[in-house]
Amino acid sequence: MFGFGKDDTNALTMNQPHPDSLLDTGVQGVISKPLDRVDGPKKVTGTATYAAEYAIENCAHGVLVSATKGHAKIKAIDADAVKAMPGVIDVITDYDTFIRNAQQGGETEAPTQGVRTVDYFGEIIAIVVAESFEAARDAAKQLKVEYEPLDDGAFDYEANKDKAEPAPDGLIKGHYDQGDFDKAFEGASVKVDVTYTTPSQNSAAMEPHASIAVWEDGALTLYGAYQMPTSDAQQLAKALGVSQSKVRIISRYIGGGFGSKLGIAPESVAAAIAAKQLGRPVKAVMLRQQVFDATVRRSNTEQRMRLGAEAGGRIVALGHESITSNLPDEDFFEPVGIGTHFLYAGENRRINHDVVRLNWTLSGSMRAPGEAVGMVGMECAMDELAEAIGMDPIDLRKVNDPEQDPELKVPYSSRNLTRSLEEGAKHFGWDQRQKAGQRREGDWLIGMGVAAACRSNQLQQSAAKVELHPDGSATVSSAMTDIGTGSYTIMAQIAAEILGLPVEKVTMSLGDTNDPPAAGSGGSWGAASAGSAVYLAAERVREKLAKAMGVKAEDLTLKDGMAIGDNRSVPLGELVGKDGLSAIGEIKPGQQEKQYNQASYGAHFAEVGVNVVTGEVRVRRMLGVFAAGRVLNAKTARSQCLGGMTFGIGTALTEELIHDPRTGKLVNHDLAEYHVPVNADVPQLEVHFLDERDIHANPIHAKGIGELGISGAAPAVVNAIYNATGVRVREMPVTLDKLLDHLPAL
Partner 1 sequence: MHFTINGQSHDIEVDVRTSLLDLCREHLGLTGSKKGCDHGQCGACTMLVNGRRVNACLTLAVMHQDDEITTIEGLGQPGNLHPLQDAFVRHDGFQCGYCTPGQICSAVGMMDEVKKGWPSHVTEDLGAAELTVEEISERMSGNLCRCAAYPNIVDAIREVAGLGDRNPNEDVGKEVAA
Partner 2 sequence: MKLFDYARADSVATATRDGAVPGARFIAGGTNLLDLMKLQVETPETLIDISRLALTEIEEREDGGLTIGALVPNSDLAADARVIERYPVLSRALLAGASGQLRNKASTGGNLLQRTRCYYFYDPATPCNKREPGSGCSAIGGENRILAILGTSDQCIATHPSDMAVAMRALEAVIITQKPDGDRRRIAIGEFYRLPGSTPEIENVLEPGELITHVELPPAPEGKQTYRKVRDRASYAFALVSVAGIVAVEGGKISSARLAFGGLGPMPWRDEAVEAALVGQEPTDAAFHAAADALLADAKGYGSNDFKIPLTRRTLVATLRELTQEG
Residues labelled as active-site residues: 707
Cα distance from N-terminal residue to C-terminal residue, the chain: 68
Tell me which stretch binds partner 2 (CB under 8 A): 39-47, 170-178, 205-213, 665-673.
Answer: 665-673
Which one of residues 84, 158, 409, 678 is an interface residue with partner 2 (CB under 8 A)? 678
Those residues with Cβ within 8 angstroms of residue 625's Cβ, 6 or more apart along the chain or in another chain: 420, 421, 423, 424, 427, 602, 603, 605, 687, 688, 689, 690
Please say which residue, 3 or 87, places its beta carbon nearer to partner 1.
Answer: 87
Least Å distance, CB 455 to partner 1, is 17
From the list 657, 648, 650, the residue with the least C-alpha distance to 372 is 648
Which run of H or of E encompasses 622?
strand 617-627
Which one of residues 163, 183, 613, 742 is an interface residue with partner 2 (CB under 8 A)? 613
Tell me which stretch binds partner 2 (CB under 8 A): 136-144, 445-453, 570-578, 638-646.
Answer: 136-144
How many residues sit close enough to partner 2 to count as binding (CB under 8 A)? 39
Which one of residues 443, 471, 504, 691 is an interface residue with partner 2 (CB under 8 A)? 443
**166 lies in the site for partner 2, by CB under 8 A:** no
**84 lies in the site for partner 2, by CB under 8 A:** no
**680 lies in the site for partner 2, by CB under 8 A:** yes
Residues 259-278 that bind partner 2 (CB under 8 A): none
Which one of residues 175, 668, 690, 693 is an interface residue with partner 2 (CB under 8 A)? 668
Contact at 8 Å (CB) between 617 and 662? no
Least Å distance, CB 68 to partner 2, is 4
Residues in the chain: 746
How far is the C-alpha of 294 from the C-alpha of 202, rounded, in Å? 11
**736 lies in the site for partner 2, by CB under 8 A:** yes
Least Å distance, CB 399 to partner 1, is 29
**654 lies in the site for partner 2, by CB under 8 A:** yes
Least Å distance, CB 639 to partner 2, is 21
Measured between alpha carbons, how far is residue 17 from residues 1, 21, 534 in Å?
26, 11, 18
Those residues with Cβ within 8 angstroms of residue 200's Cβ, 6 or more apart along the chain or in another chain: 297, 298, 299, 300, 325, 360, 361, 363, 656, 657, 659, 666
DSSP calls for 525-552: -HHHHHHHHHHHHHHHHHHHHHHHHTS-
Least Å distance, CB 739 to partner 1, is 22
Those residues with Cβ within 8 angstroms of residue 494's Cβ, 6 or more apart along the chain or in another chain: 23, 31, 531, 534, 535, 538, 632, 700
Contact at 8 Å (CB) between 372 and 655? no
Please say which residue, 194 or 690, places its beta carbon nearer to partner 1.
Answer: 690
Least Å distance, CB 285 to partner 2, is 14
Q: Binds 66, which of partner 2, partner 1, none (CB < 5 to 8 A, cut-off by type)?
A: partner 2
Which one of residues 45, 432, 567, 679 is an interface residue with partner 2 (CB under 8 A)? 679
**150 lies in the site for partner 2, by CB under 8 A:** no
Tell me which stretch binds partner 2 (CB under 8 A): 388-396, 634-642, 675-683, 705-713.
Answer: 675-683
Least Å distance, CB 208 to partner 1, is 7
**735 lies in the site for partner 2, by CB under 8 A:** yes
How far is the C-alpha of 199 from the C-alpha of 113, rounded, in Å? 27
Please say which residue, 188 or 713, places its beta carbon nearer to partner 1.
Answer: 713
Contact at 8 Å (CB) between 407 and 349? yes
Helix (H, G, I), strand (E, B) or coil at 440: strand
Q: Binds 434, which of partner 1, partner 2, none (CB < 5 to 8 A, cut-off by type)?
A: none
From the list 173, 194, 460, the residue with the least C-alpha distance to 333 is 173
How far is the C-alpha of 286 from the C-alpha of 255, rounded, in Å? 13
Q: Binds 744, which of partner 1, partner 2, none (CB < 5 to 8 A, cut-off by type)?
A: none
From the list 269, 274, 277, the residue with the least C-alpha distance to 224 is 269
How far is the C-alpha of 478 from the C-alpha of 520, rounded, in Å? 9
Q: Binds 662, which of partner 2, partner 1, none (CB < 5 to 8 A, cut-off by type)?
A: partner 2
Please say which residue, 55 or 84, places its beta carbon nearer to partner 2.
Answer: 84
Q: Binds 330, which of partner 2, partner 1, none (CB < 5 to 8 A, cut-off by type)?
A: none
Contact at 8 Å (CB) between 253 and 482? yes
Please say which residue, 366 or 417, places its beta carbon nearer to partner 1.
Answer: 366
Those residues with Cβ within 8 angstroms of residue 136's Cβ, 6 or more apart along the chain or in another chain: 61, 62, 63, 87, 88, 128, 129, 130
For 18-63, the three-class secondary structure string (H helix, E strand, C coil) is CCCCHHHHCCCCCCECCCCCCCHHHHHHCCCCEHHHCCCCCCEEEE
**662 lies in the site for partner 2, by CB under 8 A:** yes
Please say which residue, 303 or 489, places its beta carbon nearer to partner 1.
Answer: 489
Residues 45-74 that bind partner 2 (CB under 8 A): 66, 68
Please say which residue, 74 or 716, places its beta carbon nearer to partner 1.
Answer: 716
Question: Which string of x and - marks every residue 552-591 that binds partner 2 (by CB under 8 A)?
Answer: ----------------------------------------
Least Å distance, CB 689 to partner 1, is 6
**137 lies in the site for partner 2, by CB under 8 A:** yes
How far is the C-alpha of 626 from the C-alpha of 605, rounded, in Å? 12
Q: In whole angstroms, what separates CA 248 from the centre of its chain?
A: 23
Q: Binds 486, which of partner 1, partner 2, none (CB < 5 to 8 A, cut-off by type)?
A: partner 1
625, β-bridge pairs: 603, 688
ω before 733 within 30° of 0 (cis)?
A: yes
Strands 617-627, 686-689: pairing is parallel
Tell me which stretch binds partner 2 (CB under 8 A): 275-283, 519-527, 659-667, 699-707.
Answer: 659-667
Least Å distance, CB 247 to partner 2, is 33
Sheet containing 557-559: order of strands: 557-559, 562-565, 568-571
**117 lies in the site for partner 2, by CB under 8 A:** no
Please say which residue, 48 or 194, places its beta carbon nearer to partner 1.
Answer: 48
Please report, for the chain, how many H helices and E strands are present, in that order: 20, 29
Please say which residue, 58 or 684, places its beta carbon nearer to partner 1.
Answer: 684
Which one of residues 86, 187, 312, 577 is an interface residue with partner 2 (CB under 8 A)? 86
Which run of H or of E encompasses 736?
helix 736-740
Residues in touch with partner 2 (CB under 8 A) = 66, 68, 86, 121, 134, 137-138, 141-142, 443, 613-616, 618, 654, 658, 660, 662-663, 665, 667-668, 670, 672-673, 675, 677-681, 735-737, 740-741, 743, 746
